[in-house]
Chain A
Amino acid sequence: MAISVKEKRINDQQSLLLEGTYAVAYAVKLCRVKVITVYPITPSSAIAERLAEMVGDEELDAKYIKVESEHSAMASLIGASHVGVRTFTATSSHGLAYMHETLHWASGARLPIVMSNTNRSLGSPWSILAEQTDSLSQRDTGWIQFYCESNQEIFDTIIQSYRIAERVYIPAMINMDAFFSTHVLENIVIPSQEMVDSYLPEFKPKIKIDLNKPSAFGGVAPGDSYFEFKYKMEEDMLKAVDVAVKADNEFEEIFGRKYGIINCYLCEDAETILIMTGTAAGTGRVVIDNMRKKGKKVGLMKIRLFRPFPSRAIIDVLKNKIKIAVIDRNISRGVGGIFAQEIRAAFHNTKYHPPIFGFVAGLGGKDITPEQIENVLNYTIESDYPDREAYWLDIDV
């Protein structure tokens, strides 16, 4: 029986049991990244360690720059990316916060840098466990943001991100949960270099540092041009939604896997939809299965692409649902969970206005248990309208 080219390619892939951090490193290697700068931080450090080994062992032909801070890590990549090479860094939590101003610069300079961020709580009080507030605090820095559920998804999203970022000239941040992803072993399908090369051709930016044509980058933008640059960037950022969808589809053609910018589980006939992100979404699906067995018409939507926010895709799924519940492992103090707010905003200028229940859970790495999730759904089904911006799980519900 003849096998198709696509099947053969898929058969070329190997499996490795990897923690999330190593999955990132393997993906970065296959993307032929040329400059890596990392300042280590728990729980992201193993990414830096594995990449350093790869560079040291000459498995990866890249310049690995040791830096003294995350701020310098990003600043170095800004320089490197201007030269027109593929770049990567990894960070987490306080490290990401420390990068803040350089994140603005990277996106403003339209540099398709790719960065992994392990979602970890910010102090005080001190915690190194999972929470998304670190990256969501950076939502206005102009970076594409993905939130991943599994290690395979992390691995694949890194590869996809280079393709997306380099098409729209916008940097991309791939987020994963501290420890639930970074320190959990998972069987990862590793594609061949040839497959990745065919998906990710050499990066050739239209504008880069050219010694034969000296120019200054990011200088003062006179007149109205600052405003106009920002407009252009917003245009491209909005385009990135479709670019991401396309990149995902093209990825499936070569690698046989696809994630969607959102991922819906039993949503078609559901009356109540639970929205989750990150690793907790997997727990959510188990709860949906259990409640379906009990005859409850519930479904789960996982949001994978957060910036640009895929409002249209989300509204398309949610528009005729009766109620929506959002579990946020993050908090914007004073308004509740950030995903819940984003979804509320997405609905605002539509004619659909289902009640949207916001729940805050799992901050500081606290487990989000099946019981909690079932409580969330039951509470949502039983209540007419939410009486507050956010319910804190186990405290309010």
Chain B
Amino acid sequence: MSNLIKEIKNLPYTAVSHSNMLWNKTGSWRHIKPYYENKIAHCTSRCPCGNNIAEFILSASQGEFQKGYEIIKMTSPLPGVCGRVCYHPCETYCNRGEFDEPIAIQMIERFLADYMSDKGRIIPEIAERKNKRVAVIGSGPAGLSCTYHLALKGYSVILFEAYEKPGGMLRYGIPSYRLPKDVLDREIKDILDAGIELKTNTRLGNDFSLDNLEEYDAVYLAIGSNKSRSLGLSGESADGVFSGLEFLERVNSGEMVKLGKKVIVVGGGNTAIDTARCALRCGSEVTVVYRRSRNEMPAWQEDVDDALEEGIKLVFLTSPTEILFEGGIFKGIRCQKMELGEPDQSGRRRPIPIKGSDFTIRGNNIIVSIGEEPEISFLNESFEVKDKKVVTDFGGFSGVRKVFVGGDLVYKSSATVASAIGSGKSGAESIDFFLRNEEIKAKEEQKITEFEDLNIDYFSPAGKIVLSKSDVNERVKDFSEIVRGVSSEEVIYESERCFSCGLCTVCDNCLIFCPDMAVKRKDTGYEIDYDYCKGCGICFEECPRNVISLEREIKYNGNKRKRKKNK
């Protein structure tokens, strides 16, 4: 009895251990295992250039604009271009779009590019020089991107360009009001400054052939879709008739093309809208004739809206049947009204002519912008060609010795600037594998963070910045850029709206919530101490941005009763 009382006196008033409890490795209780792993944001997964969007926005949100710019430069040499002319699928798939409004990703990219424009040339580190030479044919977005990435890998590159200046469709196809030439020049100069040999006015098929390129270890063919399709009507050679690309090329070369008062543009794609708006800026009244309805137009909605706002007339469900000319001079078109039938291969409803609906539209000029295709007459039969484009494997290899193909020339390419840039990058990677005598590897499947993967309890609603355009009455007078830039404050605000999906922002939530203190900080993120992690999963649950994943610890089948087989 007395011993007991003595013992009680020695007890503390509350149950507290004499030493720490580290001996108690509670990790053995775990059957679900969390692990720390940055994932790909939904936006990034949709970027044809493969830009690490969540990462450069995170840098921008911290005011580290140069760092953000450098991150883009890892994947794309043309942020100023994409920041203006990309159709931004990133914004379409921005997870924040399901919460309130998507992040203005394109504008952030444009800002970073413009911000760095006067800060000197910044490109990622160039790998050790390799004693291999690659010929890149075509200096459009695909060729430029391939050149850039090859140069970064240490290869010597010679870049062939048919026209006077490099840039391809970026220079001769896209009008300055969407992409100012100084932006393009600046970014091309940055690429060429990596020691690229540029040969302009050198057209494949005219000035040289593929056979002349034996001295190069690899060839990258990215000549683009540089030929306008024709209507197939007689009179297309009449005075006053232009093809869309020809017209754009002349306008973009700085020529004020002389047009009559009334201009008819045929087509519903981006070229049609661009030609229409250029013709408007040349001082004409413009009518766009398209054989389907607005819903089926391949042109970007935003550009169509802009065109309408600028006073361009759109005539839908109308198709030219005859070109009217007198004395070799264009006078107008005979048209037929159309109605929409069943969907065709493109998934859009097929236009069907309405009998007896013919009518005439008078005009001084017609610009035919019904699509483009590559000029491939120089290709020999060893190339597999479908729909006037070259069939390649996933790495861009044509099947013909050391010739890789990229950009719009590739069969089933999506014919956008961003996809061309992405194609150039993957082409450079394939060429690198090829020149190192390694097998070209397909990209590993990446884990993508979608809206459902986020814990949105941690985010509050905040509206997108307002993007503005120059006044409609002013902007039609010349070719100056329409979309206005934004301030650094606006960019920081907008970047702070970013959820950083799948990207650890070191917010400490996992660390704070872990009941076992098993989440530890390390330099750039966290690690989990599996000696103590019980696998409760709260870190997974409370991570706002899906950086923590769960997996089953073990698959235990010991209790499964083995069924007796019926004999």
B14 at the interface (CB under 8 A from A): yes
Residues in A with CB closer than 8 Å to B12 are 206-207
Indicate if the CB atoms of B13 and A215 lie closer than 8 Å. no
Cα of A109 to Cα of B21 in the assembled complex, Å: 18
Indicate if the CB atoms of B7 and A228 lie closer than 8 Å. yes
Indicate if the CB atoms of A216 and B17 lie closer than 8 Å. yes
Task: Known A215-B20, A216-B20, A216-B21; judge A221-B8 contact (CB<8 A).
Answer: no
Task: Known A219-B21, A228-B4; judge A207-B11 contact (CB<8 A).
Answer: no
B19 at the interface (CB under 8 A from A): yes
Indicate if the CB atoms of A215 and B8 lie closer than 8 Å. no
Indicate if the CB atoms of B20 and A217 lie closer than 8 Å. no
Residues in B with CB closer than 8 Å to A110 are 13-14
Q: A182-237: which residues lie under 8 A (CB-CB) from chain B? A: 206-207, 214-219, 221, 224-225, 228-229, 231-233, 236
Cα of A225 to Cα of B16 in the assembled complex, Å: 12
* Per-residue interface assignment for chain A, residues 75 to 119, with 1 indicating a CB less than 8 Å from any chain B CB and 0 otherwise: 000000000000000000000000000000000011100000000
B18 at the interface (CB under 8 A from A): yes
Interface size grouping (class) on chain A: 20 to 34
Indicate if the CB atoms of B15 and A217 lie closer than 8 Å. yes
* CB-nearest residue of chain B to A236: B13
Cα of A169 to Cα of B18 in the assembled complex, Å: 20
Contact of A228 among B8, B16, B17 (CB under 8 A): B8
* CB-nearest residue of chain B to A218: B15
Shortest beta-carbon distance, B3 to chain A, in Å? 11
Cα of A219 to Cα of B22 in the assembled complex, Å: 13
Shortest beta-carbon distance, B188 to chain A, in Å? 56
Q: B1-36: which residues lie under 8 A (CB-CB) from chain A? A: 4, 7-8, 11-21
Indicate if the CB atoms of A109 and B11 lie closer than 8 Å. no
Cα of A215 to Cα of B19 in the assembled complex, Å: 6
Task: Known A214-B20, A215-B20, A216-B21; judge A225-B13 contact (CB<8 A).
Answer: no
Shortest beta-carbon distance, A200 to chain B, in Å? 20
Indicate if the CB atoms of B17 and A169 lie closer than 8 Å. no
Contact of A229 among B11, B17, B18, B19 (CB under 8 A): B11
* Per-residue interface assignment for chain B, residues 206 to 226, with 1 indicating a CB less than 8 Å from any chain A CB and 0 otherwise: 000000000000000000000
Cα of A231 to Cα of B10 in the assembled complex, Å: 13
Residues in B with CB closer than 8 Å to A221 are 15
Residues in A with CB closer than 8 Å to B11 are 225, 228-229, 232
Shortest beta-carbon distance, A25 to chain B, in Å? 29
Residues in A with CB closer than 8 Å to B20 are 214-216
Indicate if the CB atoms of B16 and A216 lie closer than 8 Å. yes
Cα of A236 to Cα of B14 in the assembled complex, Å: 12
Cα of A133 to Cα of B339 in the assembled complex, Å: 80
Shortest beta-carbon distance, B182 to chain A, in Å? 53
Cα of A228 to Cα of B17 in the assembled complex, Å: 16
Residues in A with CB closer than 8 Å to B15 are 109, 217-219, 221, 225, 229
Residues in B with CB closer than 8 Å to A229 are 11, 14-15
Residues in B with CB closer than 8 Å to A217 are 14-17
**How many B residues face the partner with a CB closer than 8 A?**
14
Task: Known A228-B4, A228-B7; judge A215-B14 contact (CB<8 A).
Answer: no
Residues in A with CB closer than 8 Å to B18 are 215
Cα of A214 to Cα of B20 in the assembled complex, Å: 5
Q: A338-375: which residues lie under 8 A (CB-CB) from chain B? A: none
Cα of A336 to Cα of B186 in the assembled complex, Å: 92
* CB-nearest residue of chain A to B17: A216
* CB-nearest residue of chain B to A217: B16
Indicate if the CB atoms of A169 and B21 lie closer than 8 Å. no
Indicate if the CB atoms of B16 and A206 lie closer than 8 Å. no
* CB-nearest residue of chain B to A221: B15
Residues in A with CB closer than 8 Å to B14 are 109-111, 169, 207, 217-218, 229
Cα of A217 to Cα of B17 in the assembled complex, Å: 6
Residues in A with CB closer than 8 Å to B8 are 228, 231-232
Cα of A72 to Cα of B27 in the assembled complex, Å: 25
Cα of A228 to Cα of B9 in the assembled complex, Å: 9
Cα of A318 to Cα of B179 in the assembled complex, Å: 98
Shortest beta-carbon distance, A107 to chain B, in Å? 10
Residues in B with CB closer than 8 Å to A215 are 16-21
Cα of A216 to Cα of B18 in the assembled complex, Å: 8
Residues in B with CB closer than 8 Å to A218 are 14-15
Residues in B with CB closer than 8 Å to A109 are 14-15
Shortest beta-carbon distance, A38 to chain B, in Å? 21
* CB-nearest residue of chain A to B22: A214
* Per-residue interface assignment for chain B, residues 120 to 161, with 1 indicating a CB less than 8 Å from any chain A CB and 0 otherwise: 000000000000000000000000000000000000000000
Residues in B with CB closer than 8 Å to A207 are 12-14, 16
* CB-nearest residue of chain A to B7: A228
Cα of A225 to Cα of B21 in the assembled complex, Å: 18
Cα of A215 to Cα of B22 in the assembled complex, Å: 10
Residues in B with CB closer than 8 Å to A111 are 14
Cα of A132 to Cα of B11 in the assembled complex, Å: 36
| Max chain A Cβ within 10 angstroms of own Cβ: one of B7, B8, B21 | B8
Shortest beta-carbon distance, A167 to chain B, in Å? 12
* CB-nearest residue of chain B to A110: B14
* CB-nearest residue of chain B to A209: B16
Indicate if the CB atoms of A169 and B13 lie closer than 8 Å. yes
* CB-nearest residue of chain B to A233: B13
Residues in A with CB closer than 8 Å to B16 are 207, 215-217
Residues in B with CB closer than 8 Å to A169 are 13-14
Shortest beta-carbon distance, A266 to chain B, in Å? 41
Residues in B with CB closer than 8 Å to A231 are 8
Residues in A with CB closer than 8 Å to B7 are 224, 228
Cα of A340 to Cα of B7 in the assembled complex, Å: 38
Shortest beta-carbon distance, B513 to chain A, in Å? 13
Cα of A378 to Cα of B14 in the assembled complex, Å: 50
Cα of A232 to Cα of B18 in the assembled complex, Å: 19
Task: Known A215-B18, A215-B20, A216-B21; judge A232-B13 contact (CB<8 A).
Answer: yes
Shortest beta-carbon distance, B110 to chain A, in Å? 41
Shortest beta-carbon distance, A144 to chain B, in Å? 15
Cα of A231 to Cα of B18 in the assembled complex, Å: 21
Shortest beta-carbon distance, A183 to chain B, in Å? 34
Cα of A229 to Cα of B9 in the assembled complex, Å: 10
Residues in A with CB closer than 8 Å to B19 are 214-215
Cα of A217 to Cα of B18 in the assembled complex, Å: 10
Shortest beta-carbon distance, B19 to chain A, in Å? 7
Cα of A229 to Cα of B21 in the assembled complex, Å: 20
18 contacts between A and B (CB under 8 A): A110-B13, A110-B14, A111-B14, A169-B14, A206-B13, A214-B20, A215-B20, A216-B16, A216-B17, A216-B21, A217-B15, A219-B17, A224-B7, A225-B15, A228-B4, A228-B7, A229-B14, A232-B8
11 more A-B residue pairs beyond the given contacts A214-B20, A217-B15, A221-B15, with a C-beta to C-beta distance below 8 A: A109-B15, A207-B14, A215-B19, A216-B17, A217-B17, A228-B7, A228-B8, A229-B15, A231-B8, A232-B13, A233-B13
Considering the complex of A and B, which 4 residue pairs feature the smallest CB-CB distances, nearest first? A214-B20, A216-B17, A110-B14, A216-B21
